[in-house]
Structure 1
Amino acid sequence: MDKKLKRKVLTASLVGSSIEWFDFFLYGTVAGLVLDELYFPSSDPIVALMLAYLSFSLTFFIRPLGGIIFSHIGDRIGRKKTLVITLSLMGGGTVLIGLLPTYAQIGVAAPILLIILRLIQGLGLGGEWGGSLLLAVEYAPKGKKGLFGSIPQMGVPIGLVLGTFTLTMMSLLPHEAFMTWGWRIPFILSALLVVFGLWIRAGINETRNLKKRKNPGRLPNYRLLIH
């Protein structure tokens, strides 16, 4: 296989995974700093904080469902198209969270919409995580499936560092400015990362294994991983 194509596939997997985890960890950091006050107001600050972290944990429960759904979709329409969908879901949810009005502005609709966006993010992350690994492994040459499969895993620490760094920069603002609009900037700027990720993925071809299959099964075919 062309070495340039291999590098492009690995880059697409790593970039997409990094963006997804950037969005994921960004929310986790903001949950304890901002969201408890702005979206889950309560007379007891501990209750507000617990609700904010509960909204963060929702993605852990919905991720397996996203993996099941998008693994099936990937077998039906292709890995490339599926990963475009998952990246768009996660990135779109992040940008909308950055634009979401607060509880003081729209009342109880604010936390409800926030939870819905978190569920959408969880579905996207579940599909992205498995899809990125599968994309890398399916393009791996013989004897290097483990190496290629390890590349998307690097997206976890990269996403964590990016999320922490951007919020650290925003925290240099005055407290009132940070609480009003500063925390939203990283969420909104995530749109640029998503566009970059989609551009990278637009340059890759469909995986070889899917091209060879004329009749995709109704259920995800996990045997592709060992072929």
Structure 2
Amino acid sequence: MANPTPSRRSLLLASCVGTSIEWYDYYIFGTASALVFGALFFPSFSPLAGTLAAFGTFAVGFIARPLGGAVIGHFGDRIGRKAMLVLTLMMTGLSTFLIGVLPTYAAIGVAAPLLLILLRLVQGFGVGGEWGGAVLVATEHASPRQRALFGSFAQFGVPIGLLTSNLAFLAIAGLPDEDFAAWGWRIPFLLSIALLIVGMVVRRKLSESPEFRNVQEKQQVTRLPVATLFRERPGTVLLASVAAIAPPAVGYTVMVYMLNYGTSVVGFDRTTLLTLILLSTVLWIAGIYVAALCADRWGAKRVYVIGAATAVAWAFPLFLLVNTGSAVAALLAFMVAGVVQAIMAGAQGGLFTELFDARVRYSGASIAYQLGGMVGGAVTPLAAVGLLAATGSWVPIALYLALLCAASLVAALVIRVPVQDAAGAEPAAGVVQD
């Protein structure tokens, strides 16, 4: 019996709800790293070393992401997208909940940071296979003219995850410092178990993508998708990985590093910064939708290039505005940064779907996205802390961010998008119609 064609609403829920939950899990770790993990899990270090250690633990999750993308992508290309999406959600949700009940260094000594790192690795491994599957299960149900729009369903999860994680921390930000450090920081992590249940219910109802079913029916499933990918399209993987650096580089500069820089250097209070970043996500979400529509009309690559160019241009104004100490100026800095990310995010799902053949698409999209995320997301906060400590100036940080985004711009310009189905071609069975 053929699988029923899912509605656009069900695809939106499956892609967006799941990624929102997973990115909520991921971002609360980043927020806690900036605000409290250094003191709780690395108390024997100096404040600077403790911050570096906390951000280093945050970075461990990014190191696990490409491995998760390769392993989960392998099985996603072998047995299907749906099963892997259920697995990634479970891995991320359970590891996040366990972080919420983890004893600190004061209770169990060195075992505390070791367990924190282990859970962060599991969390990162799960997230590594999440984005590719969530994007593909939507884009592979779409007609060629709507791939960017459907791919944006999963991209909504990034700002929504940030929004909900910030709301969770804002709810407890007013606690006295002693209570926040003792138990308050745990609440956002513990809430993830309820979100996990909601996500599992939604994703278990999802049907397999028609393009993957087509690969199965034609007996084109490859035994080693990653090996096939690197044998056939190594240049595409490399260029896509570099192109993927800019969005997390901008995002994690704002979402993670600015929480530390804004409070310790500029003098903002914690609640103000969280509120400003939260407000900027509204424009980010709206921008993704608009950018996706533009990508379907004028081409995903063209829109992505525009986004990467704006990322280069905004690196220095971002810091200049925050350095004023004005909440209005900082809000402007974060809102424009949100638009910059939205332009790239709206086009990225459609672009990465077009770059890889369906036989190896889960592996290719996941590995490229996660390698870019590791460089842009894991290294950037660490590099920013180190550059500020070494020079005492924000200028090298802004220059570093601009250079990363410039590399992505060049890669996006150079990358070749294979010719897709003609616009007038009949869509495959199972594709959602307008």
Runs of 4+ in 1 over 6 A off after TM superposition: none
Contact kept, 8 Å, 2:6 with 2:207, in 1: the verdict is: no
2:144 aligns to what SS in structure 1?
Answer: coil
1:218 aligns to what SS in structure 2?
Answer: coil
Query: What is residue 164 of structure 1 aligned with on the other side?
Result: 166
CA distance, structure 1, for counterparts of residue 202 and residue 143 of structure 2: 21
CA displacement 1:73-129 (0-9 Å, x = unmatched): 112222111001001111111101001111111111110110011111111111001
Query: What is residue 25 of structure 2 aligned with on the other side?
Result: 23
Higher RCO structure, 1 or 2 (CA under 8 Å, sep 6+): 1
Q: Residues 43 and 115 from structure 1, CA distance in 2 versus in 1: closer, same or farther, beyond 3 angstroms?
A: closer
Following superposition, the deviation at residue 61 of structure 1 comes to 2.2
Following superposition, the deviation at residue 3 of structure 1 comes to 7.5
Residue 217 (1) aligns with residue 222 (2): yes
CA distance, structure 2, for counterparts of residue 100 and residue 180 of structure 1: 12
Query: What is residue 318 of structure 2 aligned with on the other side?
Result: none
Following superposition, the deviation at residue 2 of structure 1 comes to 7.1
CA displacement 1:135-183 (0-9 Å, x = unmatched): 1111112321111112211111111111111101111222222111111
CA displacement 1:6-34 (0-9 Å, x = unmatched): 32022110111111111111111111221
Among 91, 114, 119, which residue is 2:116 paired with?
114
Residue 99 (1) aligns with residue 101 (2): yes
Query: What is residue 11 of structure 2 aligned with on the other side?
Result: 9
Contact kept, 8 Å, 1:6 with 1:139, in 2: the verdict is: no
Alignment of 1:1-227 (within 5 A): 5-212=7-214, 213-214=216-217, 215=219, 216-220=221-225, 222-224=356-358
Q: Which structure is larger by alpha-carbon Rg, 1 or 2?
A: 2
**What is the letter of the counterpart of residue 357 of structure 2?**
R
CA distance, structure 2, for counterparts of residue 165 and residue 3 of structure 1: 36
Q: Residues 43 and 69 from structure 1, CA distance in 2 versus in 1: closer, same or farther, beyond 3 angstroms?
A: closer
CA distance, structure 1, for counterparts of residue 212 and residue 6 of structure 2: 20
1:204 aligns to what SS in structure 2?
Answer: coil
CA distance, structure 2, for counterparts of residue 107 and residue 75 of structure 1: 42
The alignment's TM-score, normalised by the length of structure 1, stands at: 0.93
**What is the letter of the counterpart of residue 32 of structure 1?**
A
**What is the letter of the counterpart of residue 49 of structure 2?**
V
Q: Residues 142 and 181 from structure 1, CA distance in 2 versus in 1: closer, same or farther, beyond 3 angstroms?
A: same
1:173 aligns to what SS in structure 2?
Answer: coil
**Once structures 1 and 2 are overlaid, which stretch shifts more, 123-132 or 35-44?**
35-44
1:151 aligns to what SS in structure 2?
Answer: helix
**What is the letter of the counterpart of residue 218 of structure 1?**
R
Matched positions, count: 227
The alignment's TM-score, normalised by the length of structure 2, stands at: 0.50
**What is the letter of the counterpart of residue 70 of structure 1?**
I
Q: Residues 48 and 72 from structure 1, CA distance in 2 versus in 1: closer, same or farther, beyond 3 angstroms?
A: same
- Tell me the C-alpha RMSD between the 2 structures: 1.9
CA distance, structure 2, for counterparts of residue 200 and residue 164 of structure 1: 24
CA distance, structure 2, for counterparts of residue 209 and residue 196 of structure 1: 27
**What is the letter of the counterpart of residue 51 of structure 2?**
L
**What is the letter of the counterpart of residue 219 of structure 1?**
L
CA displacement 1:197-227 (0-9 Å, x = unmatched): 1111111112222323054212337411667
- Mark the runs of 5 or more structure 1 residues left unpaired by the alignment: none
Contact kept, 8 Å, 1:17 with 1:155, in 2: the verdict is: yes
